[in-house]
A and B are shown apart, each in its own frame.
Chain A
Amino acid sequence: GAVVSQHPSRVICKSGTSVKIECRSLDFQATTMFWYRQFPKQSLMLMATSNEGSKATYEQGVEKDKFLINHASLTLSTLTVTSAHPEDSSFYICSANRLPGPAAYEQYFGPGTRLTVT
């Protein structure tokens, strides 16, 4: 149990376009989902925390208008990278807390999405 999926696994888009990444908890309900960004050979940096039905909380330095997060249900959160630029190319990973929660150590991670902006 506690499987988190992401779609797509890889995406290539042109500069100026927007791309949406989905994060789904497949066999559990998630009160909280987290979005991370990882540059090559670096660690995961938390971008934002999203709670179902409320606005996401963004980490310092993360542009909320550029990285739109929607947590519409207890099993789905989406991250939309708007007006993408090459510097947005990165590996995006989501994680989810299982109900009841949230306890940080109970995060289950998705397999990641590789975004390449040309």
Chain B
Amino acid sequence: SQQGEEDPQALSIQEGENATMNCSYKTSINNLQWYRQNSGRGLVHLILIRSNEREKHSGRLRVTLDTSKKSSSLLITASRAADTASYFCATDGVGGSNYKLTFGKGTLLTVNP
């Protein structure tokens, strides 16, 4: 079953604006990752945040993790048209399923030039 739920399902912004996407999950996790997928293509790994971390940065990306709320957010600053893609969060869980990734439903981001 799907662990993660992203919101919004779709987001349309203008180039230069910031984009924030959220992900919620249900069970305890070891790590949470964010991926990007361009239409009809494979996944590109963006960033990983461990369960004992609260915030992480990578270039224009900022990820936060709140394990008490079982949620994470991905912020893309100064967006570009090339950021247009679907964004997924994925979790790997504590215990027997720690070798599996469970993906959220994704957010389709459209950055208009």
Contacts and interface: CB of A to CB of B under 8 A. Distances in A.
- Interface size range on B against A: 20 to 34
Given A43-B2, A44-B88, A107 B101 contact: yes
A111 to B, nearest CB: 4
A112 B48 contact: no
Interface residues of A, number: 25
Nearest to A44: B103
Interface of A: 32, 34, 41-46, 49, 91, 93, 95, 97, 101-105, 107-112, 114
Interface in B70-113: 88, 92, 98-106, 108
Contact of A43 (B30, B40, B98, B103): B103
B48 A105 contact: yes
A44 B37 CA distance: 11
Given A43-B88, A93-B42, A114-B40, A103 B105 contact: no
Contact of A104 (B2, B35, B45, B98): B98
Given A109-B42, A111-B42, A112-B41, A43 B105 contact: yes
A45 B48 CA distance: 20
B30 A93 contact: no
